[in-house]
Structure 1
Amino acid sequence: MTILLLCVLAAALMPVACAGIAKAGRFSTPRKDGGYDNNLPRDWLARQGGHRARANAAQANCFEALPLFIGAVAIALALDAPAARLEALALAWVALRLGYVGCYLADRALARSVVWALALAVNIAILFSAGY
């Protein structure tokens, strides 16, 4: 169960990490010089390009993927899915999502889409891991 809880925690922290990547290195730069604007963070992020824009997009996608993952895990637990199977699938999902973020940051669109599809398939497998 600890592995499963750590996977859920990792999934929940992934968008936070992406946000940090998007904003990193711009906190000490004054706003007037293009530094991070905590008063209007969404406006500031919307003006960013390159890896910052990709990290922000990865953040949004991580938030989008989170409800299905948590829901699938909760349903699998409620249906008494085998723990070892559920943990293995959850670890695979987290690893794929980390790969997805890496592909996004590296600007590898095709690889990112393939990894996204694989993570979705694993998420569906989690949902049905109880074998019903």
Structure 2
Amino acid sequence: MTMLLVSVLAAALMPIVCAGIAKSGGFGKPRGEGGFDNHAPREWLARQGGYRARANAAQANCFEALPFFVGAVAIALALGATADRVGALALVWVGLRAAFVACYLADRAMLRSAVWALALAVNIAILFAPRY
């Protein structure tokens, strides 16, 4: 069960890590010099480019993927899948999602899309874990 809990926690923290990456380098600088603007963070992020913009997009995608992942885990367990099976699949999903974020940051669009598709397939496998 520990592997499963760690995986769910990692999935929940992943968008927060992406947000930190998007805002990194902007802390400590005055707003007038391009520093992070906590009064209008969304507007500030919308003006960013490069890795910051990609990290912000990765953050949004991580938030979008989270409900299906958590739901699939809960449904699989409720329908009788073993925690070990779901935990192993969840760990694979988190690893793929971490690779997805890395691809996003490195601007590797085709590889990122392939990793996204693999993570989706693993999420579907989690959902159907009680069946196999």
Report the TM range for the smaller structure's normalisation: over 0.9
The whole-number CA distance in structure 2 between the counterparts of 1:129 and 1:96 is 18
Give the match's secondary structure for 1:36. Answer: coil
How many residues were matched structurally? Answer: 132
Overall identity of the aligned pairs, in % = 73
Amino acid paired to 1:13:
L
Shift of 1:84: 2.2
The whole-number CA distance in structure 1 between the counterparts of 2:82 and 2:18 is 32
Amino acid paired to 1:86:
V
Shift of 1:52: 0.1
Shift of 1:91: 0.5
Cα RMSD (Å) of the superposition? 0.8
Give the match's secondary structure for 1:130. Answer: helix
Amino acid paired to 1:52:
R
Amino acid paired to 1:50:
G
Segments of structure 1 that go 5 or more residues without pairing to the other structure are: none
Deviation digits for residues 44-63 of structure 1, max 9, x if unmatched? 00000000000000000000
Deviation larger for 40-49 or 80-89: 80-89
Shift of 1:94: 0.2
Aligned partner of 1:99 in structure 2 is 99
Aligned partner of 2:58 in structure 1 is 58
Aligned partner of 2:126 in structure 1 is 126
Segments of structure 2 that go 5 or more residues without pairing to the other structure are: none
Runs of 4+ in 1 over 6 A off after TM superposition: none
Query: 2:81 matched to 1:73?
Result: no
